[in-house]
Amino acid sequence: MIVGVHPLAGFDKLLHYKVPESLRADAGVGSLVRVPLGRTLCLGVIGEIGAPKDFPLDRLKAVAQVLHPFPALPPDLLGLARWMAGYYACGLESIIETMIPAAVRNGASLKQEKLLSVIQRLNEADLAVLTKRAPQQARLYEFLAQQFRPQKKSLVLSRLDITAAVATALVKRGVVLETAERVERIAYPESAATHGELVASQPHKLNPEQQSVVTAITAQLAGGKFGVSLLHGVTGSGKTEVYLRAIDTALKSGGGVVFLVPEVALTPQTVARLRSRLEAIAPDHKCVVWHSHLSEGERLDGWLALATGEARVVVGARSAIFAPVQNLKLIVVDEEHEPAYKQDETPRYHGRDVAVMRAKLNGALCLLGSATPSLESFVNAQAGRYQLLELKQRVDDRKLPHIDVVDMKIEVMRQRGLTTLSRKLVDAMHARLERREQAILFINRRGYSSSMLCTKCGHSEECVHCSITMTYHRSDETLRCHLCAAQRAAPVRCPACGAPEIRWRGLGTQRVEEAVRRVVPRARIERMDTDTMTKKNRFREILSDFRIGKIDILIGTQMIGKGLDFPNVTLVGLIDADISMHIPDFRANERTFQLLVQVAGRAGRGDRAGEVIVQTFTPQAEAIQFSRHADFAGFAAAELKLRRDFHYPPYRHLIHHLFRGPNPEKLKFFAEQWAKLVEKTFGTRVELRGPAPCPIEKIKDEYRWQLWYFVEGVTKIIGELSQLRDGFAWPDDLTQVLDVDPVNLA
């Protein structure tokens, strides 16, 4: 048998090897193998079975090892890898490395615990002899003989304070048996996850809307064909319950399930809730949890459980889409509009789009859900490519919260100057304290305020490495760059003109906290952002304190806006809605609308109605007006018209090409030469914008230029484009990166 192997060695090539007789049983397409390459052995994945065309077979080297008796990349994943390499114009090798966790590639084996048990009882005479000749062995024997089950070797040895040699001697005598048992490691041990939290594991009785959606999904699943359904359900409409019913159906029919959630939503609370429900649905199956904070051992265990079919369902962040789930029948993508599904390093894939493709390769159902669907998915549903399912009511007829928009221009006049908190918001907070209800305040920027401004000369401090303004952090009086983390002491006089007239512009979480403490001194306040979350369990602690009512007002970045469900929160304030509207990104409106609707959705989840106060300098903006009534259809219609006029997605695909290097003139020169070549080669098939310097011209001392391609379809041109790129004579000190369907443009 001869196989073609993709070596995981930093290059893209299929190399051929013989498979020795002894390894044949385990070797197949997708197997993880070790093969000789140069003078070392390297890992690789069998990509095909068959001989090379023009290579003397007798000179082929042999596969040295097959790591598992099952494929590390089942056929659907191998197919997916090939599709991704083409679509995202990146090496197959980088994708295979992403798909197979490092823990598996490193060849780590199962963590095993050795167990000891007595298999031959000694009579009194023999025991007496043993006690005399080898007292340690006798002690171990006597201890083990009293136990009902096998004992962990490591524990026994340390407890009796004896060496491993003693146990080995007893094993040699045939008195004691040593066995190995696989150790289960579970991410988020149940006890910690449920600490201070209520875990609802009982299924709800579906309301009529949920029921009709579930019926439609069940029919789709029964059809057993590829399909995509978009579940558009307002916040609090009970989407999770719908997902769980769909998962139940898929599992009962013997299928496997991938459930994707944004990384931030993988709080212990959600995980525990999902897990208890899923394990109730499929009691004989484990539910594997998958996210970036797992230890290698945990990841390996989860991966093995899925690859061997011992587990059939995985809940995880973006990369869980590559979990080796067998007989995949259903993929759920919750909060499908989330930018976090896009990976911003190679391979730059979009988890939702890859999910749709994987479902296609498996003839499975892909269920996308959101209260604010991405316009990409929405257009697909409008065009009939996706099935549109809607939940228009909140469960139990809870009302969507009332949204109050406060015009900060008027507030400035009223309060004679810039202020952080409007009267209305302050009054609302006082009212909550009186009624012992809770409030959440959002501000989408951490730190104290965004930048320093000298009111005399207009100077503003920028990071010398990154050409963006530095952010003032009051707690330690520093200026910090949020891109490269450079920091220095905050100046007391303007570094340019020496004047003492320094002002701090913009708002951050710290400044909001300070302002709130001033106006409601009695309140118990906590701030939650990446600055305060450096300690490992802080996030969990604060959420749990908030849940049990130890905190009145929680202040944070959008990190606390996702999927949280606190019944006693009746006030949500958005301090500065303009921040997300003024980023240089054509999706700025869409992001703002999503932010407002999602944030508002955190209010009024209990029996009491919620109130949402949005502060802005541009109250007339469409994103704000439509969000007041959670009018997704209205917003989508207005925004889609703009997108169509400007040829933006979802009507065109964008490809971003980044050039970076130490020499700005050289960057400009090569970017322009390259753009000319593209123009000549593709003509009207590609619309070019640029090349131009990036909005952030310099990061970490490297200059950056960019070029945009607007195209009708990616697959029609990407192959040609990347070939052309590979043949272009790029200088050594220039790095260039292609990003297909980029998500964060700012």
Q: Could you tell which of ligand ADP, Zn ion, none binds residue 481, using a CB distance below 5 to 8 A set by kind?
A: Zn ion
Q: How far is the CB of 629 from ligand ADP (least distance, A)?
A: 17
When the beta carbons of 335 and 552 are compared against ligand ADP, the nearer one is 335
Q: Could you tell which of ligand ADP, Zn ion, none binds residue 302, using a CB distance below 5 to 8 A set by kind?
A: none
When the beta carbons of 201 and 415 are compared against ligand ADP, the nearer one is 201
Rounded distance between C-alpha atoms, residue 524 and residue 551, angstroms? 5
When the beta carbons of 114 and 204 are compared against ligand ADP, the nearer one is 204
Q: Could you tell which of Zn ion, ligand ADP, none binds residue 240, using a CB distance below 5 to 8 A set by kind?
A: ligand ADP
Q: How far is the CB of 287 from ligand ADP (least distance, A)?
A: 18
Rounded distance between C-alpha atoms, residue 574 and residue 559, angstroms? 13
Using alpha carbons, select from 578, 573, 645 the residue that is nearest to residue 610: 573
When the beta carbons of 407 and 702 are compared against Zn ion, the nearer one is 702
Q: How far is the CB of 290 from ligand ADP (least distance, A)?
A: 20
Q: Could you tell which of Zn ion, ligand ADP, none binds residue 236, using a CB distance below 5 to 8 A set by kind?
A: ligand ADP
When the beta carbons of 464 and 609 are compared against Zn ion, the nearer one is 464
Interface positions, 567-626, toward Zn ion (CB under 5 A): none
* Two structure tokens written together for 301: 């265990």
CB 564 within 8 A of CB 543: yes
Q: How far is the CB of 520 from ligand ADP (least distance, A)?
A: 28
Q: Could you tell which of ligand ADP, Zn ion, none binds residue 233, using a CB distance below 5 to 8 A set by kind?
A: ligand ADP
Q: Could you tell which of Zn ion, ligand ADP, none binds residue 241, using a CB distance below 5 to 8 A set by kind?
A: ligand ADP
Q: CA angle 264-269-274, nearest 5°? A: 95
Q: How far is the CB of 236 from ligand ADP (least distance, A)?
A: 5
Q: How far is the CB of 364 from ligand ADP (least distance, A)?
A: 22
* Two structure tokens written together for 334: 């919750």
Q: How far is the CB of 605 from ligand ADP (least distance, A)?
A: 7
Q: Could you tell which of Zn ion, ligand ADP, none binds residue 556, using a CB distance below 5 to 8 A set by kind?
A: none
Q: How does DSSP assign 429-494, residue by residue?
A: HHHHHHTT-EEEEE-S--SSBSEEEETTT----B-TTT-SBPEEETTTTEEE-TTT--EEEPPSS-
Rounded distance between C-alpha atoms, residue 529 and residue 532, angstroms? 6
When the beta carbons of 508 and 604 are compared against ligand ADP, the nearer one is 604
* Two structure tokens written together for 451: 């930048």
Prior bond of 567 cis (ω within 30°)? no
Using alpha carbons, select from 443, 440, 612 the residue that is nearest to residue 543: 440
Residue 410 phi/psi, 5-degree rounding, is -70, -40
Q: How far is the CB of 233 from ligand ADP (least distance, A)?
A: 5
Prior bond of 691 cis (ω within 30°)? yes
| End-to-end Cα separation, the chain, in angstroms | 52
Q: Could you tell which of Zn ion, ligand ADP, none binds residue 204, using a CB distance below 5 to 8 A set by kind?
A: ligand ADP
When the beta carbons of 103 and 391 are compared against ligand ADP, the nearer one is 391
Q: Could you tell which of ligand ADP, Zn ion, none binds residue 298, using a CB distance below 5 to 8 A set by kind?
A: none
Rounded distance between C-alpha atoms, residue 746 and residue 741, angstroms? 14
Rounded distance between C-alpha atoms, residue 359 and residue 250, angstroms? 13
Q: How far is the CB of 514 from Zn ion (least distance, A)?
A: 25
When the beta carbons of 470 and 630 are compared against ligand ADP, the nearer one is 630
When the beta carbons of 440 and 463 are compared against Zn ion, the nearer one is 463
Rounded distance between C-alpha atoms, residue 636 and residue 379, angstroms? 9
Prior bond of 347 cis (ω within 30°)? yes
Q: Which stretch binds Zn ion (CB under 5 A): 345-353, 455-463, 577-585, 586-594?
A: 455-463
When the beta carbons of 187 and 630 are compared against ligand ADP, the nearer one is 630
Which residues sit at the interface with ligand ADP, rule CB under 6 A? 200, 204-207, 210, 233, 235-241, 395-396, 565
Q: How far is the CB of 488 from Zn ion (least distance, A)?
A: 11
Using alpha carbons, select from 303, 266, 272, 348 the residue that is nearest to residue 85: 348
> Site map for Zn ion, 462-491, x if CB under 5 A?
-x-xx--------------x-xx-x-----
Q: CA 566 → CA 93, 298, 739, distances in Å?
A: 44, 30, 38
Q: Contact residues for Zn ion (CB under 5 A)?
A: 463, 465-466, 481, 483-484, 486
